[in-house]
Structure 1
Amino acid sequence: MASPAVDDYLKTIYHHTEWQDDRITPSQLAAELGLAPSSVTEMVQKLAAQGLVTHRPYGPIALSDEGERRAAAIIRRHRLIETWLVREFGYSWDEVHDEAEVLEHAISDRLLEGIDDRLGRPRFDPHGDAIPDASGHVHRESFVVLGSAPAGHVGRVLRVSDRDPELLRAVESAGVAVGTVVTVASAAAVRIGEVEVTLPLAAAAAVWLSA
């Protein structure tokens, strides 16, 4: 069942539990993919029959070991391409997602290996998401989402969600980037050194800090 549609399902399921522990439900999966629940139910049944997911009717969905491997492989492609576009072609971090969505299905394994080698085998993409290695392994450190961090918490920005390009631009214009050390003032404000900057309210659920 190798196809872009299958890859999109596996990626979405994988993404859901990258930064929190709750498994994705069929209704959440349908909302994420912008598809009718009946279509999602049918595809999930096919994925389960292929041994790529485990699922009970109306229950949450989890990747099997094989599904995890497949998802990590396509996510590796996507994130390496995003990193390549930023470093080699001057794209900004809010421009790369859609390009990578197209290219991840088009480039060969040989070219991907060449990109990885040229970039020095990066561990994180421009948004701070971990790039799985060739075996699917990823390294993450302990984290806390900005909206859950107490005032006074000092942490390094580990990740900014790439879902909303406008939010990425706003966060960047505020001087916040992956690797920036900040002190939490509130769910909508951080201090960088002695300077306090206000972030969009959506940043509370879109910025991750070291714990």
Structure 2
Amino acid sequence: MKPMKRYVIFFILFNSFVLHGMAQWDTCRTAELHKAYNRLKSDTTQKAQEEFFWAFPRNWNEYLIMDYEVGNRNEENIYDYVEAFGGLTAINDTTYCAKLISVVRGAYYDADGPNYLRSLLHGVMGDSSHESGYYTPHGKENMPFIMLWLLSRELKGDIMRFWQFYWSKLYFEEDGGAGNDYSFNDDFYRLRGIVEKEYPDMVEPMTIAYRYFHHGVMFLSSYNDWWLERHVLY
């Protein structure tokens, strides 16, 4: 057998084992999350909250996998899991915020799961507008400040990606949507006031992300069809 052919066969087999292992690991994590969620519905003790918190996805890739896995359960909806995560009150604030930043690192705006997570993020950041279906729990009013403090310690590129996801809002001019007129909403002014005072280096990426992503994106799952219609089919 030629060395190159032997290498290709080894590569295929190796990746098959890796993918199989990942699938098993994902299934285990999904089962763990499902179990923790069911317990949390009738038990809101600190132990039950911590069990669900640590079973919740740790990063964006895991979140997408869990979104898919939970979606395959006819009796469950990813919204319920996000809502449960948003209602955790027994978790240390800094630990909670650090995990949320980790989950949304590299996130993109899309329907359902990503949209629910973005809505939760707005709630944790103290946005009281219609952008958020969640509200910062009583006694957790310091969460926006913790989020910004942790965010200021992220890599510059990740800071920009955070704000891109945070400010993303749909642009559907053909369907009566609004284009970006660069008008800043109340949430932007509220957060910019804090950032200018405490983290001036973050003002620029935050502002640029708002200008380009607020009324400037579409759901990623819809983008290919939109692009084809505009540039190929017509």
**TM-score class, shorter:** under 0.3
* Higher Rg of the two aligned structures: 2
Bigger strand share: 1
Structure with the higher helix share, 1 or 2 = 2
Q: Give the alignment's TM-score, normalised by structure 1.
A: 0.27
TM-score, length-normalised on structure 2?
Answer: 0.25
